[in-house]
Chain A
């Protein structure tokens, strides 16, 4: 037990400050930000849906919970059901086998709701595109409010994008 506490104390706090600059906000689309500010200042419940990703994006979403980014300090949390969610964070092209599952998840999310397409596949189809097995980008299946490019986007880009959504008006 002692060695455990010792490690905790010697590790200290590694959590980093994250600042979102105005020009980055511009790039993310100020419009949805205004909407979300009104509805969800200070808190965002996210349901993540892998609609056909290679698992690369999931690894970086996991990284958001590590002590460096500590996403929960901003009021952002990942929830277990779409019924608890404000935002669907969708990764991957939408495989045709997942199309109905994604539509049902979307329907199960209460209004008002927003959809973020994360990564190149979800944003524009990436390496996989549209085929007999893939519907391509998420916007081909459900309405998308924001896209985050990258293969996969780094946790910092991801975190800044999420913060841009909840940054309240004064900030």
Chain B
């Protein structure tokens, strides 16, 4: 008996009845009654399902509330329907910590109350719209009702601490470095961090709302800008969802090229991060060398494909640029060059004792905490979370290769550093295999013919971006337009784990702890 059947039996015993359906080979859609929303989560928790995403949408006078669960590469998209006139549903955040901020976001955007939610404060709203307004409801105009100058959100209640010698450090939203805006509130004694509270939402740009009514091409462009460093993978996830909804299968050639783009994006970002982590502990040699390698890598992207970050090179139904014979050669020699450079560099970095001093044991995230928050990507993998969409729920072209997942369980900054390095190596191997497969393929179409999706059809795109699993939900309205777009960046889950990883570290180590996670603000705030 499959685990799904055991799970379903247990649910039935608890009087929770499920209507099941299938979206794709790895994703099932389950519908339950809204009153069982929390009870379902409790049983799912016992079955060690990971809480992966939560969102909602309005369809006429009803809200569909969704939560996505995963175990061993099997996804369940859970749905319940509630009336707009009584928008209440039991909270899953009481069971899954990972659901906390997501439910607060859904509350701000739709006015859906999650009953018994442990934290009733607003999250995304700040003072941008009135408490009684809800931007993602159909009756809210995209232009909204903004004030001439939106006041700062000064009455947000941060956690307080008292006692002799305890003091508070507010940081941001405008930071001293060249990074995205967000607010951090530290409670410290001496140099030691007692507590960190993140206050995000500053770069909320209405991404979900302005997606409504777009064409598929328009949505692909918007998805590329959910988080600029992840433009390839976010576009891929959104396109995958749209293609699923429309029943379009992309050409094999296009899938392989998408794979090359995604792995090149992973390598570029990891190179940058390896350098930046070293920079935050003042090891300038490694920083400059890694920045040099990243620059060379981005220049190759530009030369081969026309954009340094490969933005807008994935399009609906396929890709915008081909990999020719000359490109293949270039791609392979690029890998050889990078491999040789890293073979010089990494031993020199590894032997540096001052670096070891700063990175080992700092910013420790235990495997338990990582699991608790559903931590993803290299952050999760450095804390023993053995999961990778490319291996566990493979999509083309990863279904044609063996994906080796880098894993460590030390959970410190050094672990996250070395997992990145291992992932660079794995990505180089993948690119090589994709290039070889392309060479075997006859020349052919790069884009599949588009079919106008039926009104109300939907898809769930799940890919492994460089930060980890990205889940993108898309539903179509009539005439090939978008009714709903929700992208779940891995940062949305990793941010909360960062609050725990910095505890008992010193305040001056926060930048390097933060960099070792490198969460996206834009991808979180939408």
Contact surface of A with B, Cβ cutoff 8 Å: 1, 3-4, 6-8, 10-11, 14, 48-63, 65-68, 78, 80-82, 92-93, 95-101, 103, 105, 126-135, 151-152, 154
B338 located at the interface, meaning its Cβ lies under 8 Å from any Cβ of chain A in the complex? no
Determine if A81 and B176 form an interchain contact, defined as CB atoms under 8 angstroms apart.
yes
Determine if B204 and A54 form an interchain contact, defined as CB atoms under 8 angstroms apart.
no
Determine if B205 and A132 form an interchain contact, defined as CB atoms under 8 angstroms apart.
no
Q: Which one, B190-198, B219-227, B246-254, B405-413, is touching chain A?
A: B219-227
Contacts of B225 in A (CB 8 A): 54, 56, 126-128
B143 located at the interface, meaning its Cβ lies under 8 Å from any Cβ of chain A in the complex? yes
**CA separation between A167 and B51, bound complex, in Å?**
55
**CA separation between A11 and B345, bound complex, in Å?**
11
Name the prevailing secondary structure of the B interface residues: loop
Give chain B nearest CB distance to A121 CB in angstroms.
8
Contacts of B344 in A (CB 8 A): 3, 6-7, 10
Q: Which one, B83-91, B291-299, B420-428, is touching chain A?
A: B291-299
With A54-B228, A58-B180, A128-B210 known as contacts, the answer to whether A133 contacts B288 (CB < 8 A) is no
B348 located at the interface, meaning its Cβ lies under 8 Å from any Cβ of chain A in the complex? yes
Sampled A-B contacts (30; CB under 8 Å): A3-B351, A4-B348, A4-B352, A50-B178, A50-B203, A52-B203, A54-B228, A54-B231, A56-B225, A56-B228, A58-B180, A59-B309, A62-B178, A63-B291, A66-B292, A67-B295, A95-B128, A95-B202, A97-B126, A97-B150, A98-B203, A100-B150, A101-B173, A128-B205, A132-B143, A132-B209, A133-B128, A134-B206, A152-B309, A154-B308
- When the two chains form the complex, which single residue of B135, B202, B221 contacts A98, counting CB atoms closer than 8 Å? B202
**CA separation between A167 and B152, bound complex, in Å?**
39
**CA separation between A62 and B285, bound complex, in Å?**
16
Contacts of A128 in B (CB 8 A): 205-207, 210, 225
| Total interface residues in chain B, CB < 8 Å | 65
Chain A, residue nearest B279 (CB): A65
Determine if B288 and A127 form an interchain contact, defined as CB atoms under 8 angstroms apart.
no
B17 located at the interface, meaning its Cβ lies under 8 Å from any Cβ of chain A in the complex? no
Give chain B nearest CB distance to A103 CB in angstroms.
7
Give chain B nearest CB distance to A151 CB in angstroms.
7
Contacts of B140 in A (CB 8 A): 132
**CA separation between A24 and B206, bound complex, in Å?**
35
B442 located at the interface, meaning its Cβ lies under 8 Å from any Cβ of chain A in the complex? no
Interface bits B278-322 vs A (CB < 8 Å: 1, else 0): 000000010011011011001000100000110100000000000
Most chain B CB neighbours (cut-off 10 Å) among A53, A54, A67, A68: A54
Determine if A132 and B228 form an interchain contact, defined as CB atoms under 8 angstroms apart.
no
**CA separation between A54 and B298, bound complex, in Å?**
18
With A50-B203, A55-B227, A96-B146 known as contacts, the answer to whether A131 contacts B308 (CB < 8 A) is no
With A67-B288, A68-B295, A95-B203 known as contacts, the answer to whether A53 contacts B180 (CB < 8 A) is yes
With A56-B311, A62-B272 known as contacts, the answer to whether A134 contacts B291 (CB < 8 A) is no
Give chain B nearest CB distance to A162 CB in angstroms.
14
